[in-house]
Structure 1
Amino acid sequence: MKELLLTVALFVATITNAQKGSILLSGNIGFTSEKIGDDKSTNFEFSPKIGYQFGDNWTVGVEGAIATLNTKGSEKTENYKTGGFVRYSADISDLFSFYTDLGAGYQNSSSNNAKGVYASLEPGLYINIKRGLALNFSIGGINYDNIDGTNSPRKERFAFDFGKSFNIGISKNFGL
């Protein structure tokens, strides 16, 4: 029941405090560490976005991500993503907004010179701290990606992972 209420609250709140004609800077930083038996892996990711808010509720822009994966006994893997996004946002109050990002683009990985595409739909909650500075929270979304490398089979992934991940980011609106 708690998950259902949280999901409903996020959907009701999917609106950022967009200001027509302003620039949005946003980003997330993530870290994961996993140990299974003697095997250990760590993952670090930085994913910035910059967009132009052309309406009271709409933003369009570019996004990217840089991630490194270190696995004990294997070489370090670096992954890159670059693409575009569209954001719809709506105010719930002066403090809270709800937003949904739809993004798509190109990705590559240093392991086996792999390349592919990705697409994602991710709702989130925006909490206005002060003068366009905000904290962003999301709990997953719908994701698709594929990647194909030399000497490795094509990999495709579809994920519906609401409630299985938790992301915190920061954003800032700059008036023009």
Structure 2
Amino acid sequence: MKKTLVILALTIFSFANAQKGTYLVSGSVGFYSQKVNSSRNHATQNNFGIMPKVGYQFTDYLTVGVQTNASFTKNETDSGNGKSNYYGIGAFVRYSKPLSEIFEVYADLGSGYNFGSGNYANTNSTTVNTNKSNGFGVSVTPALLLKIKNGFALNFGFGGLGYNSNKVTFENDSNNFQKTKNFEFTFGQTFSAGISKNF
């Protein structure tokens, strides 16, 4: 079985003031694509997601705020096609620490409630199976900040830790449900880059 995995994550905007009593507004967008080719099946999965954040900086190092996210996934296989949309809302805490005049590290601890729905259509059937899901998640994402000039900086992320617990119910069979618990360690496996501005 041959797998091709392409991961692209790009922070689209991040405006912050790294001083006490100010506000943080940031956001990110990511794209994930995977193709699987085997002698029995061919599959393609594409995912697009966004995550805006708004926070208040209580100290020069500590920020607390709210975060939301939306994720859209499309799957195509020889046996059928499926789509899913997921959303989430929660809170985050950011702790930052200067390493020098130009380098700074920070980590976001986030948690929240997520919900969504999906559908799957079998190639050999006209029936469309639909489902709904809801759950809870928590994550830790460290990052490195490189100051450039006039308050501008580059931000680099390298993955993190995450835990998610979800329950999926199927519309065609109300007595049928599925519970999943996932622990993810993506540190060093994914990469994100962005730009920020301090006011």
Give the TM-score, by structure 1 length. 0.82
Correspondence 1:88 to 2:106: no
Q: AA paired with 1:165?
A: T
Specify the code of the residue in structure 1 equivalent to 2:112: G
Mapped partners of 2:59, 2:148: distance in 1: 22
Bigger share in helix: 1
Distance 2:30 2:69 in 1: 11
Q: Which has the larger strand fraction? A: 2
1:60 aligned onto 2:85 = no
Q: State the 1:145 CA deviation.
A: 0.5
How much has 1:41 moved relative to structure 2?
Answer: 1.2
1:61-96 Cα offsets, whole Å, 9 max, x none, are 011111110111323211111100000001112321
Distance 1:65-1:134 versus aligned 2 partners, 3 A rule: farther
Task: Write out the 4+ residue segments of structure 1 that deviate beyond 6 Å after TM superposition.
Answer: none
Q: Number of paired residues?
A: 159
List aligned pairs for 1:4-153, cutoff 5 A.
Answer: 18-37=18-37, 38-72=42-76, 73-111=80-118, 112-151=131-170, 152-153=177-178
**Which residue does 2:4 correspond to in 1?**
none
- Report the Cα distance in structure 2 between the residues aligned to 1:138 and 1:109, rounded to whole angstroms: 27
From the superposition, tell whether residues 133 and 66 of structure 1 become closer, same or farther in structure 2 (CA, over 3 Å): farther
Identity among equivalent pairs (%): 44
Give the counterpart letter for 2:178 in structure 1: P
Cα RMSD, aligned residues only = 1.8
**TM-score, with normalisation over the residues of structure 2?**
0.73
Question: Secondary structure in 2 aligned to 1:20?
Answer: coil
- Shift in alpha-carbon separation, 1:122–1:148, aligned structure 2, 3 A: same
Relative to 1, partners in 2 of residues 1:59 and 1:131: Cα closer, same or farther, differing over 3 Å? farther
In the alignment, is the contact (CA less than 8 A) between 2:53 and 2:68 conserved in 1?
yes
AA paired with 2:116? S
**Distance between the aligned counterparts of 2:35 and 2:65, measured in 1?**
37
In the aligned structure 1, how far is the partner of 2:150 from the partner of 2:24? 13
Q: Contact between 2:17 and 2:23, CA under 8 Å: does it hold in 1?
A: no
Compute the displacement of 1:110 (Å).
1.2
1:166 aligns with 2:191: yes
